[in-house]
Structures are given as structure tokens and as C-alpha cells.
């Protein structure tokens, strides 16, 4: 199971992909473009003079990010969804949405169909494509 610090670091990466750069994310948060906090957290940098301790995002910073970006409270604390990780246009998202809309009794059939699609096909000459 992931720790809250690991989840928040993953969500930070999702935000960085959305904003493109740390500088743009910092600006959206009202911080200076060169503020090092998010970079230090993302890279899991060690804190000077604190042994093995690394920079982490505390509750106050997580709530500030959510508030300033208009995200739901607690968003930084929940693992990223497939959509956040893969992007909205990824076909795997469509498969997941279809599966979520199906009755649980249909899941085994859907899994068999997907499994059949992944099997190599045999050509008329006996070779495998």
C-alpha cells in the first residue's frame, strides 16, 4: 500500500503533466516561477542536515494546492485514476468505463472476449501473425 507522501508525489506528477512545467504550476499556485518546493518533493530530495529525511508535501500544502487549483478537497490524497495517469483519449480509459458500466455478471464474459483479442491469429498457411 502506498503512503500518503507517495500518493501526493504521484498527484504532483499528474499536475505537472497538466501544466507542462514546474514554473507554470508554481505560477498557477501564486508562487514564484522558481520556487523549489515542488521540485524537491517531486524528486524526493533529501533534506540537508536531516539524515535520510526527504522533502514531503504536508497537509497544509496539499490543501493549499487543492484550494488554489479548484480541486476537490482530498484530491491530493487519493491515488490517481487511470484517466489521470493515461490521459482522456487513451483507449484503455474507454475499456475501463465500459467495464464500470457493466453488471458484475458480465465481467467474466468481457474478460474472455478481451483475452481472445490478445491471442495470436493463425494464417491459412499455418503461420502465426
Residue 30 corresponds to which cell in the numbers above? Answer: 501564486
Judged against a pLDDT cut of 90, whether residue 15 lies above it is answered with yes
pTM above 0.85, yes or no: no
Provide the grid cell at 127.
Answer: 503461420
Which residues, 6 or more positions from 77, have their beta carbon under 8 angstroms from its beta carbon?
4, 7, 8, 62
Chain segment 45-82, per-residue pLDDT in tens = 999 988 889 999 999 999 999 999 999 999 999 999 88
Mean pLDDT value across residues 29-56: 93
SS3 31: coil
Query: What percent of the chain is predicted at pLDDT more than 70?
Result: 95
| Band of pLDDT at residue 126, cut at 50, 70 and 90 | low
- The helix/strand/coil state of 7 is helix
From the list 79, 55, 76, 81, the residue with the least C-alpha distance to 65 is 76
pLDDT of residue 86: 79
Amino acid at each position: 500500500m502506498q503512503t500518503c507522501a507517495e500518493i501526493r508525489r504521484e498527484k504532483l506528477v499528474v499536475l505537472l503533466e497538466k501544466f507542462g512545467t514546474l514554473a507554470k504550476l508554481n505560477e498557477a499556485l501564486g508562487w514564484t516561477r522558481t520556487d523549489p518546493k515542488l521540485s524537491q518533493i517531486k524528486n524526493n530530495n533529501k533534506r540537508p542536515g536531516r539524515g535520510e529525511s526527504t522533502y514531503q508535501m504536508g497537509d497544509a500544502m496539499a490543501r493549499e494546492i487543492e484550494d488554489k487549483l479548484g480541486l476537490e478537497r482530498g484530491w491530493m490524497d487519493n491515488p490517481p485514476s487511470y484517466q489521470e495517469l493515461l490521459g482522456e483519449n487513451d483507449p484503455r480509459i474507454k475499456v475501463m468505463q465500459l467495464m464500470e458500466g457493466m453488471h458484475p455478471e458480465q465481467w467474466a464474459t468481457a474478460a474472455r472476449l478481451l483475452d481472445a483479442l490478445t491471442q495470436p491469429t493463425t494464417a491459412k498457411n499455418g503461420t502465426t501473425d
